[in-house]
Amino acid sequence: ALQALSARTGLSEAALDTLGSDYDPGSDAALSVNSTRMPVDEELWTASSAELAIAVLNLAQQKATARSSVTKPGLSLGASVTDSASWSLTAKVSFSPDLLFQKNADTAAENLAIQERSLAKTEQNVRTAWKNQQNALSMAERNFSNAQRFFESAQLSYEETELLFDRGESSQANLDEAQEKLLSARWQLIRSAESLENARDQLDAAWQLSIQ
C-alpha cells in the first residue's frame, strides 16, 4: 500500500508512513482548523480600504479645486466684459473673463469626472479583491470538508475490511487496498487542512494590507 501510494504521490514510503499519524479529526488541532475566524464582510472590507479612502480624499480635493477654479471675488460666470474689464487687464488675459471662467469650469468638470471614474474603478477593484479572497477561502473550506468525509469513510472501510480479514472473510489484497485508500485519504486531509490555513492566512494578510 505504501509503495503504491509512494509511486502515485512521489513521497517516500517513510514520509507516508508517518504522515498525519498524529492527526485526529476530533482533536483540538483539527477543531481549530474547522473553526471559522471572524468574518470580514464586503461592506466592512470596502469601508476600511485605505486605497479607497485615498481615492475619496482625492475626489474631495478635486471638488475643492473645481470650486476655487471658477470662483473669483466680485465676478461670476455671467460677468460681462465691461464689468470685468479692470480684472481682465490686471490678469493680462487676451479674452473676456466669461470665456476664461468657462474654460476653467470645463477643465474643472473634466478633471472632476476623471476623479469620479477613478473612485468608481477603485471601489470596484476593492470589492473584486474581497470576492477573490472569499472565493479562494470557500473553495479551500469545501475541499477540506470533502477530505474529512473521504478520510472518515476510508477509515471506516479499513476497519471493516480489517475485521473481515481477521475472520478470514477477506483477502490480504483487499486489506492492502483499504490501507492504501486510508493512507491516501489521510494525505489528502492533511494537504487540504494546510491549504485551508493558507487561504485564511492570505485573507488575513490581504485584510491587513487593505487597511494600512
pLDDT 10s digits, 199-211: 888 888 887 777 7
Q: Which residue has the higher pLDDT, 164 or 77?
A: 164
- Indicate the domain borders of the chain: 2-34+42-211
pLDDT in tens, 106-147: 777 788 888 888 888 888 888 888 888 888 888 988 898 888
Answering whether pTM is above 0.85, one says no
Q: How far apart are CA 179 and CA 191, in angstroms?
A: 18
Q: Which residue has the higher pLDDT, 152 or 102?
A: 152
Residue 34 pLDDT > 60, yes or no? no
Report pLDDT for 55.
Answer: 83
Report pLDDT for 157.
Answer: 92
Averaged over 145-151, what is the pLDDT? Answer: 88
The identity of residue 71, as a single letter, is: T
The identity of residue 20, as a single letter, is: G
Report DSSP letters for the chain, one per residue: -HHHHHHHH---HHHHHHTTTT--TTSHHHHHHHSPPPP--HHHHHHT-HHHHHHHHHHHHHHHHHHHHT--TT--TT--TTTTHHHHHHHT-SS-HHHHHHHHHHHHHHHHHHHHHHHHHHHHHHHHHHHHHHHHHHHHHHHHHHHHHHHHHHHHHHHHHHHHHHTTSS-HHHHHHHHHHHHHHHHHHHHHHHHHHHHHHHHHHHHHHHH-
Report pLDDT for 18.
Answer: 58
Residue 30: CB atoms within 10 A of its CB come to: 15
Torsion over CA: 157, 162, 164, 168 (sign): positive
pLDDT in tens, 40-94: 777 877 877 888 888 888 888 877 777 766 555 444 444 444 444 444 444 444 4
* Cβ contact 178:157 at 8 Å: yes
pLDDT in tens, 92-101: 444 455 566 6
Instruction: Give 8's Cβ-side CA count (13 Å radius).
Output: 12
* Cβ contact 115:59 at 8 Å: yes
Report pLDDT for 160.
Answer: 92
